[in-house]
Amino acid sequence: MDQPQQIRLNKFLAERLGVSRREADDLISAGKITIDGKPASLGARVDFSSKVCYNDKIIPFEADFLYIAFNKPVGYVCSRRAQGDTPTLYELLPKEYRKLKTVGRLDKDSSGLILLTNDGDFAYQMTHPKFHKEKVYEVTLDRSLEPLHQQMISDYGIMLDDGPSKFLIIKDELAVPLSKGVRSLAKREVAPAARSDGPAGRAPRKTMPQARYIVKISEGRNRQIRRTFAALGYCVTALHRTQFGPYQLSGLKPGKYVTIKA
Which residues belong to the active site?
Answer: 107
Q: Is 127 helix (H, G, I), strand (E, B) or coil?
A: helix
Q: Max alpha carbon distance in the chain (Å)?
A: 85
HSE-CB at 67 with a 13 A cutoff on CA atoms is 14
Cα separation of 83 and 87, whole Å? 7
- Alpha carbon distances (Å) from 72 to 77, 78, 85, 88, 144: 9, 9, 17, 10, 26
The order of strands in the sheet holding 57-58 is 38-39, 33-35, 52-54, 57-58
83 within 8 A of 77, measured Cβ to Cβ: yes
Cα separation of 48 and 60, whole Å? 9
Q: Output phi, psi for 21, to 5 deg.
A: -65, -35
Q: Output phi, psi for 123, to 5 deg.
A: -60, -40
Position 141, amino acid? L
Beta strand spans in 121-235 (E):
135-141, 158-160, 163-165, 168-171, 183-184, 212-217
Contacts of 159 (CB under 8 A, 6+ apart): 165, 231
Q: Output phi, psi for 201, to 5 deg.
A: 75, 15
